[in-house]
Amino acid sequence: MPEYKIISKKNPSNPEAEPKYYANVVNGKEADLDYLCQRIAASSTVSRTDAYAVIMGLMETISFELKEGRIVRLGELGSLYVTINCEGTDTEEEFNETHIKQANIRFRPGKELKELTKTMKFRKVNKVPVAAD
């Protein structure tokens, strides 16, 4: 079950106002690629190595398709697509590639992941453990 802690935040548009208190998710443990491959192997007929090869192949394919300007739809998992940050110009003729400052990859979750966020339960923690080096 995800955990949260309470933090205080000032209002950036009104620094003189008293801070308010908000819940903040405590992200501590990670599920890295090796762990995910082990879980896939444990619940299927593929080996950890096979799962890793498929995931890495998927990563290469997704990268290629995003570079081609395509939206990558991953079924119920969701979609990946590229957006850009840029400076505006007064006229269309003035605009050129130098006005594009950054490309971003966005993820839009599928229906099942969206539903997951609607039904998640959280547990409050009073003290967040410090990660060991």
Tens digit of each residue's pLDDT (9 = 90 or more) over 22-31? 998 888 788 9
Do strands 20-26 and 3-9 pair parallel, antiparallel, or not at all (unpaired)? antiparallel
Residue 5 · residue 24 · CB < 8 Å: yes
As a whole number, the mean pLDDT across the chain is 91
What residue type is 5 in one-letter code? K
Q: What angle do CA 106, 110, 116 make, to 5 degrees?
A: 110
Report the half-sphere exposure of 70 (CA within 13 A, side-chain side): 9
pTM across the whole model: 0.73
Residue 111 has pLDDT above 60, yes or no: yes
C-alpha 50/C-alpha 15 separation (Å) is 54
In the numeric block, the tokens 């453990």 are attached to 129
Query: Residues 33-57: what's their mean pLDDT?
Result: 96
